[in-house]
Structures are given as structure tokens and as C-alpha cells.
């Protein structure tokens, strides 16, 4: 399905069948691309389809179980990718280290660019 020593897989996710899309798909995120591979229904076993030409690092992709898309975080924005291609994006500033979900919200863990600029209050 996907084999490349220079393009490691950094994320996987399954899209389960729905009424609108009756087939299941496997999303494959690499450091260079986002691919989808049809795992059920007609035309199963073909070549993975390139959804986006830019991939993501390890820990920067995960499934959105509500929208049934894969969420990919990059340095400039967080992207939603479906079987049809890249969808909505949410721009932000700063360097992040990992993304996660909490209910219906996407959480991004950012690294402080200047640790001394973050101060705790001295009094409550």
C-alpha cells in the first residue's frame, strides 16, 4: 500500500462508512503527503489517492470522529482532510508539538518561544 524509506508514515486513521459515503477508507499521513486508501466496496485494493501534497510530523495528525475526517497540524495551520481532498483550515501563530481532541474541540500543545515571558501570578 505505502512503502518508502524516505517518507515515513506519521499518522493513520479509518473513515467508517456513512449513508453519504458507503465505503470505508484508510487515511495515511506521511511527512510529505496525505493519502486515502479505499478499504471496502467497489474498487477496493487500488492505489492510494493523494489528498494533499504536504504531510505532517509524528503526533500531528488524528481522526475527527465527528466529521469523519483526518486533522493535520502543520506550522502554519490545522487542516481538515476528507476523502475528496483538503477542507477547512484554521490558521494560528506559534510552534506546536502535538494535537489532540477533547470532545468536539481540537487541542494544540504549543511550545513557548521564550519561557521567561510566561509568569505565574505572585498573589491569588
Read off the pLDDT of residues 65-78 as tens digits, 9 standing for 90 and up.
Answer: 777 889 888 878 78
pLDDT at residue 34, rounded to an integer: 95
The CA distance from 67 to 113, in Å, is 32
The CA distance from 114 to 80, in Å, is 30
Domain that holds residue 112: 9-117
The answer to whether position 37 is within a domain reads yes
Count structural domains, the chain: 1
The answer to whether position 99 is within a domain reads yes
Q: Which residues of the chain have pLDDT under 70?
A: 1-5, 93-124
In this prediction the pTM is: 0.73
pLDDT at residue 90, rounded to an integer: 79
The answer to whether position 123 is within a domain reads no
pLDDT at residue 98, rounded to an integer: 55
pLDDT at residue 124, rounded to an integer: 41
The answer to whether position 3 is within a domain reads no
Amino acid at each position: 500500500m505505502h512503502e518508502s524509506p524516505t517518507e515515513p508514515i506519521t499518522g493513520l486513521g479509518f473513515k467508517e462508512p456513512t449513508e453519504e459515503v458507503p465505503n470505508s477508507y484508510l487515511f495515511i499521513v506521511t511527512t510529505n503527503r496525505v493519502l486515502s486508501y479505499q478499504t471496502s466496496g467497489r474498487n477496493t485494493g487500488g492505489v492510494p489517492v493523494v489528498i494533499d501534497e504536504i504531510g505532517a510530523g509524528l503526533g500531528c495528525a488524528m481522526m475527527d470522529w465527528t466529521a469523519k475526517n483526518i486533522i493535520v497540524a502543520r506550522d502554519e495551520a490545522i487542516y481538515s482532510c476528507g476523502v475528496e481532498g483538503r477542507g477547512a483550515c484554521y490558521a494560528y501563530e506559534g510552534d506546536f508539538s502535538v494535537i489532540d481532541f477533547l470532545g468536539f474541540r481540537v487541542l494544540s500543545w504549543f511550545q513557548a518561544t521564550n519561557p521567561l515571558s510566561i509568569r505565574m501570578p505572585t498573589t491569588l
